[in-house]
Structures are given as structure tokens and as C-alpha cells.
Amino acid sequence: MPKFVEAEVVVIGGGPAGMAAALSAWEYGMRKIFLLERNAHLGGILNQCIHPGFGLHIFGEELTGPEYAERYMEALGRTGVEVLTDTTVLEVHKDRAVVAVNRGGIWIFHPQAVVFAMGCRERTRGMIRLPGTRPAGIFTAGCAQYLVNVEGYLPGKRVVILGSGDIGLIMARRLTLEGVKVEAVVEIRPTLSGLLRNYVQCLQDFHIPLLLSHTVFEVLGQERVEGVLVGEVDAKGKPKGRLRHIPCDTLLLSVGLIPEVELLKRAGIPLCSSSGGPFVDEDFACDVPGFFACGNVVAVFDLVDYVTRSAERVGKRISEGLRDEKPPLILVPGKGVAAIVPQRIRERREGFLYVRPKESLRKAKLSLVQQGRELYHVSVPLCRPGEMIHLEISQIPWPKERKEVEVVLEGEKHVDLFSGALYCMSSGMSD
């Protein structure tokens, strides 16, 4: 028979969000807390992020991913949080039953609160309908990152990276340091997807070409990738001009991340179409009482610091138990805004509002509008889709009225300066 376990809190996922959520619950007095992690170690994606740049906001210093994770692992070690690794959650039910499996058998937890902290997964070749053959040598950037940094493999010797997301940029540098030739990073949009600092530190410093408004039109090779056909795209994404053949044995895809929400779907948690994750309030409570979600399962955050900060908010609320909730104020993304987190505001006193711009703008104005009336605005000198804007919730004069509040971003269109400047091709390329 499966084993039944009573618990106060079950946290699903032992990455930065899950670790911080478990710690936060402990801090607020919860004592029967289970942290379930499907891999052999806590840390999640941090374990494969061996580059620096983590923790600037939280610790005021630049840490590597494993160093950042270690701080939380150590803190967890000082608590009574029960950590189960190599444990995969199979389903979460509406009554908060969590069914998990590990080498010890099947476990059914019955907690008062479930915290979803499964993070996100990478968009795949199929999702972008990348045409061509289906040989070995096509990896998502994060998969390649794990293979290189944790397992000590190389994905190949000559690489093209499609998409300018952060993991792709980081991997361009990482593979170059391993002696792999990175031919180019190809981005279909006219702007960079990842952080500007990653462009400078990972591509510019290593003379790796970035081809904006370009994409891969065909994968070549029967058994292993033998090359890709790359060309420029027009505003509609159609090919423009001649295609070029770039010989390579590997294609990495860094074409976006999506919250890993399969368990939430089965549990019947309402999801937001713009963020891809569940609707949450400023304490990262879902629309269904007793369920919480934090970190990248809610929306893909730019920095791990934001992920941690989101998770740190759940403990207090969990400690207050199931209570009668006042109906919240509802926030919706308006013009110029791709996604917002949270989408509900209840207490209006603490926490942050994160706003992801749809496109690059300069001299922009971020405003909160209710029924055509502006409640609040801030000016944003420059914003890019790769970087979230965050506002302190306490700074905003929230209205008494519970009508929907729209978050709007307006400004002048901004074209990244390196759009043309970096259009240099390396010598390895042939027509």
C-alpha cells in the first residue's frame, strides 16, 4: 500500500524557489515541512549555472549558482525541514493530496499547504517548428549546460545557437572556454532576448557574432547535424535574401522558457495566459486556497534573486492558515506589457510588482489605470523585454474600488544599438 504522510507544508521542487519557500515556512513556525526534489541534489538549475552573477540583490555579492544554492542548503540543514531527493511528484489533487514516488515507494502527503516550485522548462524544436532533418546534435541550451557543467560532456565541437535567451548566451561563452567553436548566435527578433550584461560578457568579449532578425531555416544532416541554413527574416518572419550554410555539428536552442505547470493543471489551479503560470497574489498564493506557487513556475524571472524573493513571501501567509479571503484587486497587462506578477493584490502593503515589457522602449511611462483613470505612474528611461521592471507594492496608492487595474507601458520604440553594428560574420562561414 502507498504510504500516507500527514504534513503541514509540502514544497514541490528543491531549486531556489523551493528551498526559500521551505525556509520561509520554517521561519514562520511550521514544523512538518517536506521538500521534494526529483534530482539527486537540492539546488535545481543553480547546480548547472557555474558562472557568477547570482545574489547581487539578496547578498550584495556576486556568487556562482552552486554557491548561491549552498547558502540555502546550509540554512535548510539547520532546520527540521525534511528533504526527499530523487523523489518525483506524479500528481497533486484538488484536496491537496500530493502523490510522489521514489525508490522507497509511493508516498501520499496530505498537507495543509502545497507550494509549487517546479520552475520552468525550455521551449523545444517542435514548438518553434524548426524545419529540416532530425539528426543527433540538437539540444536545448539548458540541457547542454547540464551535460557540460554537471556531467562533463561536450555536446559537439562546432555550434550554432538559435535564440538569444540568457542560457544560450551563457552557453556561447561556456562552450568557447571548453574549446568548442561557436559560429554564431542567431535571433529571429530585432532585439536581444537575454540580459544586456550577458550579451557583453558572453558574446562581445569572445567575438561571437550575434545575428539579429535572422533565423535557422533548415537543419541539415542525416545522423548528426552537419550544418544549418541561416537567413534574414522580414517583419513577418518570412525569409529575406539568400540563405547561408553554416557547417556545424550541434545546434543549441535558447528560444524561451515556459513555466512547468502540468501538476497545477491536474490540481485545477487557474492559470494566466500571459505569464504561463498560475494567477497569484503578492504573497504568491494561488486562486485556490491552500495552494502557493513561487519562482519560475509563476512566471519566468530574469534573476534568481527575484525567484528567492517571491518564495520568501509564502511562509507568513501559510502560517496564517486557511482564512476567509477578501476578494482581491485584479491586475491585467495592458498595452506594451507582456506579463505581470502578481495579478492579484490583497493586503497592498508588501512585496513587489514585476512587469515584463513587450518590446524595447525608451522614455517610457509605466502606469496603473483603473476605468480610464491613472492611479500611479513611474517613468522608465529604457526598458527591454529581457529585463523586468519591478515596483514596490507599498509605493502604489491602491484604490478602494475593486475594479480591474490595467498596467500600461508607453514610450518611444527603441532599437538596440548593436542591431547593425554586430553584423559581422566569422570566417568559418560559407555560402
> Which residues form the interface with other proteins (CB under 8 A)?
1-2, 38, 86, 88, 90, 99, 101-106, 108, 121-122, 124-127, 129, 131-136, 139-140, 142-143, 146-147, 150-158, 178, 217-219, 221-227, 247-249, 262, 265
Give the residue with the Cβ less far from other proteins, 104 or 321: 104
Shortest reach from residue 218's CB to other proteins, in Å: 7
Shortest reach from residue 168's CB to other proteins, in Å: 14
Give the residue with the Cβ less far from other proteins, 187 or 249: 249
Give the Cα separation of 308 and 195 in Å (integer): 19
Q: How many CB atoms lie within 10 A of CB 238?
A: 9
Give the residue with the Cβ less far from other proteins, 147 or 375: 147
In the block, which residue shows the cell 534573486?
305
- The helix or strand, by DSSP H or E, that contains position 77, with its residue range, turns out to be helix 65-77
Give the residue with the Cβ less far from other proteins, 90 or 415: 90
Shortest reach from residue 292's CB to other proteins, in Å: 21
Give the Cα separation of 248 and 132 in Å (integer): 14
Shortest reach from residue 344's CB to other proteins, in Å: 25
Cell of 207: 567575438
Shortest reach from residue 361's CB to other proteins, in Å: 27
Report whether 115 contacts 293 (CB < 8 A).
yes
Give the Cα separation of 206 and 169 in Å (integer): 11
- Give Cα 316 distance to the centre of its chain: 24
Q: How many CB atoms lie within 10 A of CB 16?
A: 32
- Would residue 314 be called left, alpha or beta, if left means φ above 0 and alpha means ψ between -120 and 50 degrees? alpha
Q: Is the peptide bond before 342 cis (omega within 30 degrees of 0)?
A: yes
Q: How many CA atoms lie within 13 A of 351 on its CB side?
A: 26
Shortest reach from residue 307's CB to other proteins, in Å: 19
* Partners of residue 40 on adjacent β-strands: none
* R_g of the chain computed on alpha carbons: 22
Give the residue with the Cβ less far from other proteins, 29 or 131: 131
Give the residue with the Cβ less far from other proteins, 28 or 217: 217
Give the residue with the Cβ less far from other proteins, 131 or 321: 131
Shortest reach from residue 354's CB to other proteins, in Å: 24
Give the Cα separation of 119 and 385 in Å (integer): 20
Give the residue with the Cβ less far from other proteins, 63 or 248: 248
In the block, which residue shows the cell 550584461?
197
Shortest reach from residue 260's CB to other proteins, in Å: 9
118 phi, psi to nearest 5 deg: -85, -5
